[in-house]
Amino acid sequence: MTTTLAAPRLKDRERTAILQSLRAGVVPRIGLHHIQVGRKAEVAALLRDLDQAKEGGAAVRFITGRYGAGKSFFLNLVSTVALEKGFLVARADVTLDRRLHGAGGQARALFTELMRNLASKARPDGNALGGVVERWISSVVQEVTAAGGDDARVESEITTRLRPLQDLVSGFDFAAVLARYFRAYQAGDSVTQQNATRWLRAEYGTKTEARTDLGVRSIIDDASVYDYLKLFAKFARIAGYSGLVVCIDELAVLSHRLPSARARSVNYEQILRILNDALQGNVEGTVFLFGATDEALEDRRRGLYSYEALASRLAPNEFAKGDVRDLSGPVIRLQSLTPEDLYVLLHRIRDVFAYGDPAKHLLPDDGLKLYIDYCARTLGDGYFKTPRDTVTRFVGLMNLIEQDPSHDWRASLGHVNQVQVAPATSAEAPGATVEEEDDLVSFKL
């Protein structure tokens, strides 16, 4: 009995976002579940981290792999899962102008980018900060007014609930800005609300300007970025969320684009501080995810391993060799996709082109096999280890077929004069059994 791969239906917006992103070689922000394959052990490890953070713990993970191995895809996948579990997710890429430490506003710029990209389940595309604050204030107002309280009682309740923040560095001003936001919310003062949001995003450059607009004496600057991330994580839990996931990609910028050894060192010191706080239980409800290439991690001259304290904490388990993996440490090395995984991935992308309808497939099953053979010939035996090139080319081929159904895809794949491969069922992949592929495709988060 033959088993077919059932593809979920998808919306036109999801389809467009997925295909445009894959064609450009970047990770789509939405619809990841339509093309998810493999990585079961890694996802399970991150699910445990999220559960731990939901209970008040913390975790730090370094997701490593070669260029094109799927690091950014994995980070986005975990972010999507975190949103479903009720976390807030802040995402940003490291650049020369946005990094963890800097004396010229670089760290503040990274914080601003994280807050601008802040996502919630209601706003998965980002820009959720204002909605998060307003949603919490509205819930407090409803609770207090339902019990017969007035505006003064609401403000007192907000102050009471924010009191735990005052135990942290800069917590008093953070709470004061939220209280100011509430007063502006009640008065319909949109300008002050916007000013409060600007302050929370670290968009104030001087303390004088912040004191004039909001009456607070401090701003979020380069030196206090990490302290405010901890504050925001605690506020997220007060506001009813599970916690905060901070996703920072492209650590290779620190290791291989920063020319100054001193600049690399102070950035690594900040990473060490984050790692130590998480391991020692000094931060709660937070998961830090860092994306890095193998070289950014292991290079003893410029990478994280060049900082001895990080090298010792991120060292692999010496007993985990060969096929034995230890996913309990901070580093998760993404294993290469197998050829069977890649076949399933191409099958999923073909389904996306067809809106999930098998009757609308643009390429038959034997075409998938011939395409994999084409990749093996043109990209080498390791075509499945860095799927980015394989996927980008496949989307390009499918675009041609979609635009011109008469396009000779066999000629494009170099098989114009070869005997046709016997059609395969949707569940059959080179070297894979029906049961194996069903297991990959049916895996749900």
Average pLDDT on 186-190 reads: 91
> Does an H or E element contain 204, and which?
none
Average pLDDT on 224-229 reads: 95
User: Confidence class of residue 439 from pLDDT cuts 50, 70 and 90?
Assistant: very low
Does the pLDDT at position 433 exceed 70? no
Average pLDDT on 6-32 reads: 80
Tell me which residue has tokens 């593809």.
7
Q: Residue 95, exposed/middle/buried by CB under 10 A (0-12, 13-18, 19+)?
A: middle
Query: What is the pLDDT of the chain when averaged over all its residues?
Result: 86
Does the pLDDT at position 383 exceed 80? no
The pLDDT of residue 37: 81
Give the C-alpha separation, 219 to 215, whole Å. 11
The pLDDT of residue 376: 84
Does the pLDDT at position 418 exceed 80? no
Average pLDDT on 79-101 reads: 95
Burial 207-220 (b: 16+ CB within 10 A, else e): eeebeebbebebbb
The pLDDT of residue 415: 64
User: Confidence class of residue 27 from pLDDT cuts 50, 70 and 90?
Assistant: confident
Model confidence, pTM: 0.81
Average pLDDT on 222-227 reads: 94
Comparing 137-151, 153-167, 274-288, 334-348, which segment has the lowest mean pLDDT? 334-348
Does the pLDDT at position 375 exceed 70? yes
- Per-residue pLDDT reduced to its tens digit, 316-372: 888 877 677 888 889 999 877 778 888 899 999 999 998 888 888 999 988 898 988
The 3-state DSSP class for residue 219 equals coil
The pLDDT of residue 190: 93
Check residues 56 and 72 and name the one with the higher pLDDT. 56
Give the C-alpha separation, 236 to 150, whole Å. 25
